Amino acid sequence: MARGYVRRRERDYTTVLDNSTRLFGKLTFTDSLKINGYFEGEIEASGVLFVEEGAHVVADIKAKEVIIAGRVEGNISAKEKVEMMETCSLIGDVRTQKVRIADGVSFDGKCEMIKDPDTVDIFSAPVETLKKTVSSV
């Protein structure tokens, strides 16, 4: 277990993919998922994803919250936060409101901090930026 992380009790995870699991495809879930094994594909969730130490995920991830203690290859978009534990290895870009990176993390990518859409002040950006944003919608 990664030090510095207060482990959620096993029963707090709605679904657990065991370390002997090798899964390929698209994962969609609403509550929480803990990956102990290998997953390759795409993950889209409105809940919490936890990649345990020793697990390997090759996927673009969209979730409410992502906690990584294992290895992830792919871009992450988290509505609330991304937490990288000291045993985390991440190759990919991160887009989230909050990020926590522990000492010892291997992170090769970019991090974009986003604001809560409900609290964005549209008058704080230059007019050109607003025009580009509106035209892309």
How many separate domains does the chain show? 1
pLDDT per residue of the chain (137 residues) written in tens, 0 to 9: 444 444 544 447 778 898 999 999 999 999 999 999 999 999 999 999 999 999 999 999 999 999 999 999 999 999 999 999 999 999 999 999 999 999 999 999 999 999 865 554 555 556 676 666 666 65
Output the pLDDT for position 77.
Answer: 96
Residue 79, phi then psi, degrees to nearest 5: -65, -40
Q: Does 96 fall in a domain?
A: yes
**d(C-alpha 37, C-alpha 17), whole Å:** 6
92: containing domain: 10-135
CA proximity to 2, closest of 64, 55, 59: 55
Q: What is the pTM of this model?
A: 0.77
Q: Does 77 fall in a domain?
A: yes
Q: Does 2 fall in a domain?
A: no
